[in-house]
Amino acid sequence: MKRRLNVAEAAPELYRAIRALDGAVKASGIDTRLLHLVKLRASQINGCAYCVDLHVAESLAAGIDARVLHLVATWRESPLFDARDRAVLEWTECVTRLAETGVPDEAWEGIRAHFSDEDIARLIVAIGTINIWNRVAVASRMLHPVDGRLV
């Protein structure tokens, strides 16, 4: 495989807008650990190797236990995730797989049990933002920022 397109060069104003949105999400007050879980799980679902690699590295740098990261894909079977984590991971999966799930009431009830409307709104935007990044990276075959390789 080789890179198809550099979106940052082809549409710089839109790329900057996505980066600005990502920055706003990071600054919004979402718990850092939960934001890392959201980004990693959505990237796994979307098959974005670039983003999975990036978010694992960022999560490790932020001090998240490697065992947690290894088990994000199988969170339902792992005791390493508490009820709050599970609600966020379920919400992430449903919102990422919107066409398949319709975001069922059970997922809403689960997230609502742990978060305020403001928190949920932030999570929705965070999930939407990582889904945008996944689509940019997968569709363009984005190159790794450190060594220029396809991940």
- For 100-132, give the secondary structure using H, E and C: HHCCCHHHHHHHHCCCCHHHHHHHHHHHHHHHH
Q: Evaluate if residue 1 carries a pLDDT over 80.
A: no
Answer whether 126's CB lies under 8 Å from 96's CB: no
The set of residues, in sequence order, having a beta carbon less than 8 Å from that of 29 and lying 6+ positions away, is: 122
**pTM (whole model) above 0.85:** yes
Give the span between the Cα atoms of 140 and 90, in whole angstroms: 28
* Length reported for the chain: 151
Instruction: Categorize the per-residue pLDDT at 145 as very low, low, confident or very high, splitting at 50, 70 and 90.
Output: low
Residue 74 sits at φ, ψ, to 5 deg, of: -120, 40
Report the CATH number of the 7-140 domain. 1.20.1290.10
**Per-residue model confidence as pLDDT tens digits over 43-87:** 999 999 899 999 999 999 999 999 999 999 999 999 999 999 999
Handedness of CA 127, 20, 60, 145 (dihedral sign): positive
